[in-house]
Amino acid sequence: MRGFLSWWLRWVARWRRASGDAAVSTHATSDGMMATSHVAPGMGQAPMLDCESVMRHLWDYLDGELTPDRMVAIRAHVEMCTRCYPQYEFERSFLDAVATSAREHSALDGLRAKVTEVLVARGLQQE
């Protein structure tokens, strides 16, 4: 559960970054992805993509590196595609496992003190 929460928070942060980027983009739709004219019920104007297009951009989607339009389009496809959803879950759980595998420094307070001491010796003024 902690892992999923961690992944979700990272994903939301990246989604926000992507949204911010898109705000200054005037050609967000010229993405080179294959889109069909089918629009799924309840999915607004998000174009439905074919599986290969989704696979090509699945990592970018999981990293939150696409424009909001692309994110919505891929999410709409993945949520309904029995072929793509298992792979999405597989890759998402992989990224989550990698993100939470990092070793943390076991003595950060001591390290902070050492770094501060070295910096003060070099001239950093203390508060």
Partner 1 sequence: MIDEPKRERDRQFRTEALRWLPEVARFALSLTRDESDADDLVQETFLKAYEAWGTYTPGTECRGWLFTICRHTFYRRRHREERQVTCDDPELEALAAASVHASARHGGFEHLFSRFDLSDAIDQAIAALPEPFRDVVLLVDVNDQPYEAAAVTLGVPVGTVRSRLFRARRLLQEALIEHARDAGLVRPRLDADTAAREP
Nearest to 55 by CA among 88, 102, 8: 88
Name the one range near partner 1 by CB under 8 A: 22-30, 42-50, 67-75, 117-125. Answer: 117-125
By C-beta, is 40 or 85 nearer to partner 1?
A: 85
Q: Return the half-sphere exposure (C-beta side, CA atoms, 13 A cut-off) of residue 23.
A: 6
By C-beta, is 28 or 43 nearer to partner 1?
A: 28
Nearest to 49 by CA among 69, 64, 63: 69
Q: 55-84 mask for partner 1 (x: CB under 8 A)?
A: xxxxxx--x-x-------------------
Q: Is residue 35 at the binding interface for partner 1, with CB under 8 A as the rule?
A: no
Q: Is residue 125 at the binding interface for partner 1, with CB under 8 A as the rule?
A: yes
Q: Report the C-alpha gap between 8 and 22 in whole angstroms.
A: 21
Please check whether residue 59 is in contact with residue 42, taking contact to mean a CB–CB distance below 8 angstroms. Answer: no
By C-beta, is 65 or 69 nearer to partner 1?
A: 65
- Rounded to a whole number of angstroms, the minimum distance from the CB of residue 9 to partner 1 is 10
Range 81-100, binding partner 1 (CB under 8 A): 86-87, 89-91, 93-100
Residue type, 106: S
Mapped onto helix, strand or coil, the DSSP state of residue 33 is coil
Q: Report the C-alpha gap between 102 and 125 in whole angstroms.
A: 33
Q: 14-33 mask for partner 1 (x: CB under 8 A)?
A: x--x----------------
